[in-house]
Chains A and B, each alone.
Chain A
Amino acid sequence: MRRTCLNMVYELAQRDDRVVFIGSDLSPGLLSDMQTQFPDRYFMEGIAEAHTIGMAAGLAMDGYIPYVNTIATFITRRCYEQVAVDLCMHDLPVRLIANGGGYVYAPLGPTHQATEDIAIMRALPNMAVVCPADADEMTRFMNASLDWPHPIYIRMAKGGDPIVTAGQTGFEIGKGVLLRDAAGSDSVLLVSTGVTTTRCLAAAEALAARGLAVRVLHLPTVKPLDQDMLTDLAAEAQLLVTVEEHSLIGGLGSAVSDCLIDRLEGRLPKIRKLGIPDIFAKAYGGQDDLMHDVGIQAPHIVEMVEQTLGLN
């Protein structure tokens, strides 16, 4: 997904001379073709996230569209005020490409694990938050990103993630994707963003085998949220489960329940939220290990549905 995303920056740069790439001390040789072809629009800067965001804002004020890339925790925590003031207050079309959303950097410890990034980014006015599920969706999103006139936070997965959005066409920022449909009334609705969508689809298969009607709603843009689609599907569900590789504070589950409390008062389905509890990871290993520890793998989703519906 990361390679796809960066290759798309190069492709967009070939298509549109407003596109600029800014990295913060990334791998040697990264996007070397773009550097060779467009030396004026390729910047590899030092370890100075606060400055880099301001510099990107200065370029965007003059009509450029900077795609800024570094590790997710650094591009959110380190320079939050620059993101808030320089990008969001000015409402500039700068794109933050955040490597390692969630537990991607499991072996490197909590300094590198972006587990509250969705919450703090979506709290900022004008900021869009996008979490593609796979490389195919990343390609479609990147095409759509070019002319979005506001800042965007792009949450990257590990890479090599299974392709689960094949067959989809186009990408509209603010639109959800119903990746698995079923009979509407009394359905179970699994709502996800990013790579937990893969886990939801696997869980849905297992639950369908038990005779349940399970829908999977993938929300690649947590903000703006597709409130209409979410509300319509939730209105037909007996149980809605949100699944995210993110803190339970302020992420997808919060966005979904905030929306539904407003829109479905008195008609709410049962709602359960799976995500990361209010802790820093205590172990290392791989992304899947930590996702297992906090209970956001497919078997946990199945268990939550069965438990809530009294099926086990």
Chain B
Amino acid sequence: MAVRRRWTRALAGPMLAGVLVLGFPGLGPDRLAAQTVDARVRDAATAQAAPRTAAYPLGIMARNTATGVEIAGVNAGSAAQAAGLEQGDTILAVGGYQVGLVGDHLYDVADEVARRVGPTGQVPLLVRKRSGALAAVPLQFGSTSRAISGVLTADSAAQVPSTSVITVRLLDVTEPQWRDVALTQGQLPVGRGFPVSYRLDPPQAAPQHRYAIDARVEDSGRLVLQTAAPVPITTSDREQRIDLPLVAAAAPAPSVVASVAPNAQIQQWITTYLGRPPKPYETEVWLADLQQGKSLGNVQAGILSSSEYFERCRSNRDTYVTEVFRQLYGTPPSPAQLADLQARYDRVQGVRLQFVEQLLQQSR
């Protein structure tokens, strides 16, 4: 197995004298991790947080290779530009540690920068310039932050189990249908209760996009508290403080699943439809789907149209449409209904998800 090379500091050391103060470039999805500043929650959050890459954007377009991270572009005003990095250069190491593809692992340059950056915001890079020369390049991050922070508060009468989890999200709300497009989000435990401090390090705003921030508190998949509505934010290059009051979550609209917590409902569907208990993480996957803005109806359709359910129906169209109908209506279809189901199934060319979603819409 390939061994990650620890580059010696002998080359980089003498060349680290210069200190550069750099601007803020754009951010990629790798660095959308959130972080908390509240000391009370920091430890718990650390266990699940991704590296604090959002705070240290390099401002490059990068391609990982087995010989380092090739720079395909450099953002204007970025830390990388100020350090003199150019398109065609290759970053070999960050703080002495090799980056890019090493053996069967990817050592992400942004993660490595976040890990190795010193208390003064400086981190040394080893770079092969496009001319072929090796160079030690000190990268310096400025003290400016675009972080959004504040305090989450809740009505003292609110009953919030200590096992609940708070999720704070920065949403892109540019288009009306983008209801749950989270650019970045952070999770922290409720622990001893409110108020709770939060902090998000947002990616750079896209031109002409609109943003808002919201928060929700969930206990085992059950929504307990939430912000009354997403709070619009102005894009800014400065830190912003936005306090978020949380209110009791509205009762869900009456439906067949109104009285059941989402996770219990999902487990019940898996058990009923697939004839087995949920596999590890299976329920989490569907709950994450709800967090992405989909409905329980979407989840039900997803399970009923799964490859596994289709196989349980002998991978046979007629058996499948009959069983789906039976699950939704409690009775087998009449001959006329079966013919209708077959026609519907054929109309969507056997794309089961579309078939079930249409049936579910009709059954509501």
Q: Do A and B come from one complex?
A: no
A-binding residues in B (CB < 8 A): none
